[in-house]
Amino acid sequence: MTRTGAQIAEQLQAAGVASLNWHLADRDYALPTLNFLRRAFASALWSFQNFFAVLSWTEEANDCDDFARISAGFAQILHYLTPDRPDRSALAVGEFWYQKDNFGGGHAINVACCGPEPSDVVFYEPQTRTVVHLSDTEKANATMVRF
């Protein structure tokens, strides 16, 4: 299934994501499955990070924005290498920068649209390679969304 960039933006807004800083660079996006994110992607991402010895958080040098950027790019590489992927499509996995509730600081993770409904918007923590839940406030406090 594919969605246009405009449809992805509408879906994110319907899911409560608000940002003044949106970047949807591609026209069409293929939707990953939740199973892909939790299993195949998480395993491949760990192998990639392990190979380059970038599994550990390091202040400024290898912190949350670096994990989110690498993870989104790596997801796109895997999509590009998938033989039966939809032609001329990016993967609906992007970077999501926001203000955290628990300490008020900024954080960067990934966001994915795994289906057409607002409830199919999934947040992914690349530092632990797990799907995470964000509060409504955290979704509304997005500072950057980039696909």
Tens of pLDDT along the chain (147 residues) come to 899 999 999 999 999 998 778 899 999 999 999 999 999 999 999 999 999 888 776 676 678 999 999 999 999 999 999 998 888 899 999 999 999 998 768 999 999 999 999 999 999 999 999 999 999 999 999 999 999
Question: Rounded to the nearest 5°, which phi and psi values hold at 137?
Answer: -65, -45
pLDDT of the residue at 54: 81
pLDDT of the residue at 22: 87
pLDDT of the residue at 88: 87
Please state the domain count of the chain: 1
Distance CA 130, CA 6 (A): 27
- Inter-residue contact 90 to 147 (CB < 8 Å): yes
pLDDT of the residue at 52: 83
Q: Which two tokens stand for residue 33?
A: 């499955």
pLDDT of the residue at 55: 76
Domain that holds residue 70: 2-146
Q: What is the CATH number of the domain that holds 59?
A: 3.30.460.70
Only one residue has tokens 């203000």, namely 99
pLDDT of the residue at 27: 95
Distance CA 125, CA 79 (A): 19
pLDDT of the residue at 59: 75
